[in-house]
Each structure stands twice: as structure tokens, then as C-alpha cells.
Structure 1
């Protein structure tokens, strides 16, 4: 039976012919530097990818916290006072502006004053300058609060030029409002103890 001493001798004899290459010190240094460079590149790539992910995630998070803002198109009944588009879309009239309509839920083109105290209901589109030969520039004015006195209108172009005065006798009601030229007209409205303003577009017939 082979004892432990003989086993050790046999193992030494078996490994005497095995040559283990020795890496020169310079090669070890180069290899170590290469490994460090690879680690730095990998770290930079990971850090860069993380920064991109964070940059992409922040706007998404902010937009998720901030609800979309709904903007009414210019000229819609919800865009009070701003109606310089053609055509003015039809909308459901406010409760206080429905007197005289047979339909309990009338839908018609109209523009609300900036303060919400008056509406201009358009019975003809488009409003034209000069007046069209096939329809009139009929506007029905309805006040939120009944007042006495004429409705006085001062219309100007966006730069404040070409001021024009018009009067609807007896206060807000049916009228024909002709203006001298095309453009987006700003109308200052005064009646009784009330005042408001809105915009109306006039186009060529």
C-alpha cells in the first residue's frame, strides 16, 4: 500500500515537466492598464446611459403631473371676445341669451363679450365689407342684464386706426352693423351702466 510520502513524491515527479509561463512585469502592467481602461469605458457608458434615461424621464414625469391645457380655438363661443376667424362656429347659446328662440336649446354662431355681459349673435356669415348684395350684416345683441339706454359701439382695427361709431337705438337688440373695410375689428360696447368688448371679422364679399 502506498503511503502519503510516496504519493507526494509521485505528484512532484508528475509536475516537474509542466512549465508555467511567467508573465514579464511590463506585460502585467500593460494588462492591468488595459483592464482599468476597459472598466473606465464601461463605467462611462453606463453613466451616460443613466443620464440619458434620467433626462428622458424628467419631462415625462413633469408632463404626467401637469394636465394638458385645453385651448379654445379663436372664434369659438368659449374664446370670449376673440372671433376673428371665418366662419364663427355654432354653439349653444347661454341660458340668458335664449329669449325669443322657439328651440329651447338653440345653436347658432355667436361671440361672447370679454366680460361675459353681452353676446353678438350672427344671423349672417360672413360679415362683409362692403355689405354683400345677397345678405345683410345682421347682428342680434343680447345683454346679460337688462338696462336702459342705447348700445354705443366704437370699432377700431388692431392698430387702433379707422375708428368708427355705430349706435343701436334702444339698447342691445337686432341691428345691421356695416363697417367701412375688411379686417379684424375690435368693438368697444357701452349700454346703460354696462360695458364690454369683442372682436368681429369682416371679409370681402
Structure 2
């Protein structure tokens, strides 16, 4: 099923979830910034010590993708996985899945992935290298971000 993505907001956020001064439209090209600093405080449950790791904040600051598989790679042959821990800011969502509708920047190829049970641990493989625009939906919530696969 093809899905057209529409940006949910026009700003980006810093790693703490505060709006940044750089509007999304001002960014050159595709790709949400990967932050290597500490995870936002609300995303640290289950972590101890230093929580610095590669992560991408959703454009609406409703979800963060902790990238255990950084760099993300299409057609992996290195024995690693594209492991992503999805952490929603509002953990009060009802039961249901996290649905990821991804569209490749440029050609518009689409892919749908589902994380059973909602935001949490996942392996998200996408079919081709490039910048993928993700529309993320889970019960009562939605956000967007771009992830680049090499």
C-alpha cells in the first residue's frame, strides 16, 4: 500500500525535546539529525550510567529512535542488525502496534513495517539505501522523522 507522507510539524527538536531554531524546511536534503549525546530524560528508562548513544528525535518530539544498529544499512552483510529502540514520550498509549510507513526520498518507493505491541525494540530493514521519510503511528499518536540507510 503506497502512503504519502505529510510533515506533522515544521520544526525540529534538540535531544531534550525542546524546539530548535532551525525549521525543518531550512535543512538541506533529507535526513533527520543523528544526535550522539544523552537520550532525552523521558527516554532513559532501563538505561543506567551514561545514556549517550546515536538517536533521532521525531519531528514532533513524540518519539525517539535509539539506533543500536548505527549506521543503518540496507542489505546488511556484516552480521549486524538495524536494531532500533523506539521510545514514545507519552507511554500511556493503549494497546496496538507501531506502524512505520516509509517513503524513499526521490523515487518514492514505499515500505511498511510494524513493531508489534507499539514502540519498543525492533529490527527495521528497508529495501534500498537512501533517505527514508518515516511516518510513525501508534495508538493515539503520530510523528515523523527521516532515517538514512547506507
If the length of structure 2 is used for normalisation, what is the TM-score? 0.76
Which residue, 31, 37, 57 being the options, matches 1:84? 31
Alignment of 1:157-196 (within 5 A): 157-159=104-106, 161-196=108-143
Give the secondary-structure state (helix, strand or coil) at the position aligned to 1:96. helix
Gaps of 5+ in 1: 1-73
- Name the structure with the higher helix share: 1
The residue aligned with 1:156 is: 103
The residue aligned with 1:111 is: 56
CA distance in 1, matches of 2:109, 2:31: 17
CA distance in 2, matches of 1:160, 1:116: 27
Aligned residues: 127
The residue aligned with 2:7 is: none
Q: CA deviation at 1:150?
A: 0.4
CA distance in 1, matches of 2:35, 2:55: 8
Give the secondary-structure state (helix, strand or coil) at the position aligned to 2:53. strand
Between 1 and 2, higher relative CO (CA 8 Å, sep ≥ 6) is seen in 2
Between structure 1 and structure 2, the one with the greater Rg is 1
CA distance in 2, matches of 1:93, 1:166: 24
* Higher deviation after alignment, 192-201 or 130-139: 130-139
The residue aligned with 1:99 is: 45
Which residue, 76, 81, 98 being the options, matches 1:136? 81
Tell whether the 8 Å contact from 1:120 to 1:139 is kept in structure 2 after alignment. Answer: yes
CA distance in 2, matches of 1:141, 1:201: 16
Q: CA deviation at 1:92?
A: 1.3
- Name the structure with the higher strand share: 2
CA distance in 2, matches of 1:96, 1:119: 10
Give the secondary-structure state (helix, strand or coil) at the position aligned to 1:165. strand
Gaps of 5+ in 2: 1-11
The residue aligned with 1:121 is: 66
Name the CA shift for 1:173/1:80 in 2 (closer, same or farther; >3 Å).
farther
Q: Root-mean-square deviation (CA), in Å?
A: 2.5
CA distance in 2, matches of 1:129, 1:192: 28
